[in-house]
A = this chain, B = another copy of it.
Amino acid sequence: MIIGVLGPKGTYTEKAARQWIEKKELENEAVLEYCADIQDVFFLLEDGGCDIGVVPMENSIEGSVGVTMDMLMEGEAHIIGETVVTIEHCLLSRGKKEDIKIILSHPQGIGQCRHSLKEHFPDAELRTTGSTSHAAKLSTEFEEMAAIASPDTAEVYGLNIVMPDIQDRKHNHTRFVVITKLDDDELKDKLKSDDPDIAYKTSIIVYLDRDRPGALYSILGEFAKSNINLTRIESRPSKKVLGDYVFYIDFEGNISDAIIKDAIYNIEPQVGMLKMLGSYPEFDSHCESN
């Protein structure tokens, strides 16, 4: 089984993928395919180059990952799982702190360390890379370069940890989603099935017609009336016109539950578009190690 992740070796996405692989007891079958950026994980999946993809969805400091949200809207991938990874950014370099002139990382990494960077490196040039580990790899080239990445990455690329804990807040977590294009039958053949008794979560995207004010309230009412707990509601531009949005809604429950099916059935006629992204086991922080 080929699993597409953000590369090169050492990304937080790889860590997320390994957590999921372990949970699914796929250690012997899973082969990681490293992609240059998040978009490429989706493209690889769409082209049949991998069975499963793992991509970051939201971070507790910097918020949603726009590319992931847009690609979920545009493509055919659906979500079959999620996992949460503790983020522990360090500043890695070949050189010393005083030599650093250029700081590289994924835009989310830079965003999560914005205040720290401003304080410690007000004059440094910031460069974005496709991933934190790509930043680390590039930093091996010059002493004046440093990367924001995980401490494990320092070991992979032989860099020094110039500053540990460079993120703006101590507690920093990223939620990743596991995506696929395989249908239920194909998945059953390849994956250990999830325990149906554990808590599930469902993700949808809805587009509300602009000429129906109060539509969002009305949709939330469908959830409230059935006591369905929303875990996340996030808007993204519809990209048609400024002020026009699609909403990404995550809620507790499985689409196979009658109560969820009914809620979706009631919501569908009220919205311009409803895209089902999938039902999947909720990440349980009590049972997992990261």
Contacts and interface: CB of A to CB of B under 8 A. Distances in A.
A230 B235 CA distance: 13
A39 B232 contact: no
Per assembly, the copies of the chain total 2
Interface residues on A, range: 35 or more
A214 interface: yes
Q: SS class of chain A's interface: helix, strand, loop or mixed?
A: mixed
Interface of A: 39, 58-63, 66-67, 84, 107, 110-111, 114, 118, 125-129, 169, 171, 173-175, 213-214, 216-217, 220-221, 223-224, 229-237, 239-245
Contact of A223 (B126, B217, B223): B217
A223 B61 CA distance: 29
A66 B62 CA distance: 7
Given A128-B110, A220-B216, A241 B63 contact: no
Contacts of A114: 39, 67
A169 B39 contact: no
A64 to B, nearest CB: 8
19 contacts: A59-B242, A60-B239, A60-B241, A63-B66, A63-B236, A67-B111, A67-B114, A125-B127, A126-B127, A126-B128, A126-B129, A169-B239, A171-B240, A213-B229, A213-B230, A217-B220, A232-B243, A233-B235, A235-B235
